[in-house]
Copies of this chain bind each other. A is one copy, B any other.
Amino acid sequence: MNDDQPLDPAQAGLGDMDPQAFRAHAHRLVDWIADYLAEIDRYPVAARVAPGEIKGALPGEPPLAPEPMARILADFERRVLPGITHWNHPGFMGYFGITGSGPGILGELLAAALNVNAMLWQTSPAATELEELILDWLRQLLGLPPGFFGVINDTASSSSLYALAAAREALDDLQIRRHGLAGRPDVPRLRLYASEEAHSSIEKAAIVLGLGQEGLRKIPTDDTFRMDPAALAAAIAQDRAAGWRPFAVVAVVGTTSTTSIDPVPAIAELCRRERLWLHVDAAYGGCAAVVPELRWVLEGCEHADSLVVNPHKWLFTPIDCSVLYTRRPDMLRAAFSLVPEYLQTAERGAVTNLMDYGVALGRRFRALKLWFILRYFGREGIAARIREHVRLAHELAGWIDAAPDFERLAPVPFSTVNFRYHPRALDAADPAAELRLEELNRRLEAAVNATGHTFISHTRIRGRYALHAAIGNLRTTGTHVARLWTLLQQLAPSVSS
């Protein structure tokens, strides 16, 4: 992208970018993106910049006059791109292995161009109806029964917040929507439950909803990091006896650290008996249910009151796209629907107005990209890709298991592997050795990431510092996983010295 170009016709006047100028700029940008995607493995995965370096290389004040688009794009390439960590790189295996895709990018481009706001049915009927349709498609792909209503939010953190707001609203004797929680002697302390491995977003939701961190009780997990239903039952009984009012349980299908799967059938049965709202966080793991032989991961979820699954994690959808399903849309609406006169429309009652189901009023046309993706890959294509990621993860796990100086730290139900370098000479029973192992693995993580060929992250499992490799990028193949393994083995000895 070279930068010496005149201004577009009309750029210095009023109005938008001239459509013919848009055409020319967009074609050039498309070529750049196609090249970028074709050559993505020539970039270092993680950005090699120091804090403040990107900001420092750009002017501190906005320009007075218009600038040529070519110059702006050239500055992107020169000044911004070096500060990008390439989530598209096939060697990116940090956090969850999220992935966009070609059809997803096309969907985002078209949605940005249309720029409709899907707040009301009337403000673009197709945006609402395509969202309804496509979320029913996804429901079928996941093997969930009919009766689940879906709505797209930005992230799982928002989806879980909205679900728990609905769960709180379902305590209808308390009329929390109207009276709130503060200063009410008639309201007991409220509690929700999740395992100690659940995502921090659940705790954040408890804070926002006015339940406080103490309003979330963390339940211990078993040897495979799954919530212990007996411990959950005991906690609920204990809390009831102490005057708390339990109201919801969050079960996780694919926890963030170890991707463990809580025993949803047992938890669902407990929730039924105790009349508690069951919310399932399947943001990552739920995507795997598209694969027939992995459908079991959502076993029991048919009883959930709400469930979140994120197509932007492992269904090839550019960020952001989180789907909240609920069997109780009435409660979501009871918690959130507020319709001032200026949003009243003649169709209200006959149509779905998606603004009624969450905090955000303005809503992007996110259904479009998901529709493109589900059709472009098809049910079989999606399943084949997820199956391959799981296969690659098991291959890596096998290599780790066979290596005397490495150890795996958790089972691999999906495509994420937690492990550490553990030279035989170090006895983990010795507390000093544990500190030494953390130091070694921090160094190994940094060394592997510094190569630019791969990017892994870390977590802590039962106090132990764990390296975390998540395979979920559409470009990742056996070659890239093998390269990670080679780098780990090659670099491990050097971090010990």
Contact = CB atoms under 8 A, between A and B. Distances in A.
A83 B124 contact: yes
A19 interface: yes
A203 B384 CA distance: 46
B113 A16 contact: no
Most buried by B among A213, A359, A468: A359
A180 B206 contact: yes
Contact of A215 (B81, B180, B372): B180
Given A177-B213, A213-B177, A25 B102 contact: yes
A471 to B, nearest CB: 12
Say which size band chain A's interface belongs to. 35 or more
Contacts of A208: 161, 165, 208-209, 335, 359
A53 B11 CA distance: 40
Interface string A38-73: 100000001101011111001011111111010011
A379 B181 contact: no
Contacts of A200: 338-340, 343, 361
Given A15-B474, A26-B109, A104-B112, A125 B47 contact: yes
A482 interface: no
Contacts of A122: 46, 85
A158 B385 contact: no
Nearest to A139: B62
A237 B51 CA distance: 48
Given A124-B47, A474-B16, A22 B319 contact: no
A221 interface: no
B65 A381 contact: yes
B26 A30 contact: yes
A475 interface: yes
A212 interface: yes
B116 A105 contact: no
Interface string A148-183: 000000111110010001000000000011111111
Contact of A60 (B133, B141, B206, B343): B133
A235 interface: no
Contacts of A80: 126, 130, 368
B12 A105 contact: no
Contact of A384 (B14, B312, B318): B14
A399 interface: no
Contact of A108 (B15, B112, B320): B112
A238 to B, nearest CB: 16
Contacts of A132: 55
B65 A360 contact: no
A188 interface: yes
Contact of A361 (B72, B99, B155, B342): B155
A341 interface: yes
A83 B365 CA distance: 12
Nearest to A371: B72
A285 interface: no
Contacts of A485: none
A414 interface: no
A402 B195 CA distance: 68
Contacts of A156: 361-362
A82 interface: yes
A379 to B, nearest CB: 5
Contact of A85 (B58, B123, B468): B123
A243 B458 CA distance: 49
A12 B154 contact: no
A83 B94 CA distance: 40
A340 to B, nearest CB: 5
Given A154-B362, A178-B213, A27 B25 contact: no
Contacts of A372: 69, 72
Contacts of A81: 126
A209 B111 CA distance: 32
A458 B99 CA distance: 42
9 contacts: A51-B350, A62-B141, A72-B376, A76-B110, A100-B115, A115-B319, A180-B207, A201-B359, A203-B338
Minimum-distance CB pairs A-B, first 9:
A210-B210, A17-B102, A180-B212, A83-B126, A183-B189, A108-B112, A23-B34, A19-B38, A100-B115
Given A105-B109, A340-B459, 15 more contacts: A15-B474, A17-B103, A19-B35, A58-B133, A61-B137, A62-B137, A65-B378, A65-B380, A83-B129, A88-B115, A100-B112, A112-B318, A176-B212, A180-B189, A312-B362
